[in-house]
Structure 1
């Protein structure tokens, strides 16, 4: 299976660990990989170590005299910490959808134990827990 271009270190790890032959699943895996890489970039910004290069493109404008003028356009985040929180939520949601069914069963809360009267001994409580 081909590795999608442009993945960073963490994104590549996610892709290699979770990609299968299932195309719809792989679409989610790829988005999770991209989100992980984006979170790494956002973390670098938050720590003051880098700049987020999400989108940069050049626009060609023509002046009245027929001369071409290039204008660089950059898209930046004003609040990287808030964006990181949103990206982390999106990643968690995708990973939850990708997790196997048996891990969901293990994560479900245990049923509440039956309430016992106040005059029940600790041994009777322990026996009730073992039955449950």
Structure 2
């Protein structure tokens, strides 16, 4: 199957995250949505970093208020935490899909539909 197209509007860091993530594992459609948002957050973090660097230089030069810098730093921490959570979610779903891959049922095991039939048979037998 062809690799999903890089979403429009991603910056260099987001495109790199997209390509590297898909090179490591095949993702479900839900994981692709999470990955796309992760890529956008990665790009946003680059933008925030450039803003923070500019504000830090201005604060150090005495040209700007340190409160502005603190707001950008707080937003950067929030975005980083969100990115970490999203990437962990993708990773946990990928790991879960590998460990719970469907396989043949163990010998003697019955599926859910068979379970329903057995319950109905027992109820019928006990009632009459």
The number of aligned residues is 75
Q: Which runs of 5+ in 1 are unaligned?
A: 50-76, 103-132
Q: Which runs of 5+ in 2 are unaligned?
A: 56-68, 97-128
Matched, 1:88 2:94: no
Question: 1:22 aligned to 6, 28, 49, which one?
Answer: 28
Match runs of 1:1-132 below 5 Å: 1-19=4-22, 20=26, 22-48=28-54, 79-99=71-91, 100-101=94-95
Report the TM-score when normalising by structure 1. Answer: 0.51
Q: Distance in 1 between matches of 2:84 and 2:7?
A: 21
Determine which structure has the larger helix proportion and give its number.
2
Determine which structure has the larger strand proportion and give its number.
1
Report the TM-score when normalising by structure 2. Answer: 0.53
RMSD across aligned positions (CA): 2.3
Deviation at 1:101, TM superposition (A): 2.4
After the TM superposition, which parts of structure 1 deviate over 3 Å for at least 4 consecutive aligned residues? Answer: none
Task: Point out which structure has higher relative CO (alpha carbons under 8 A, 6+ apart).
Answer: 2
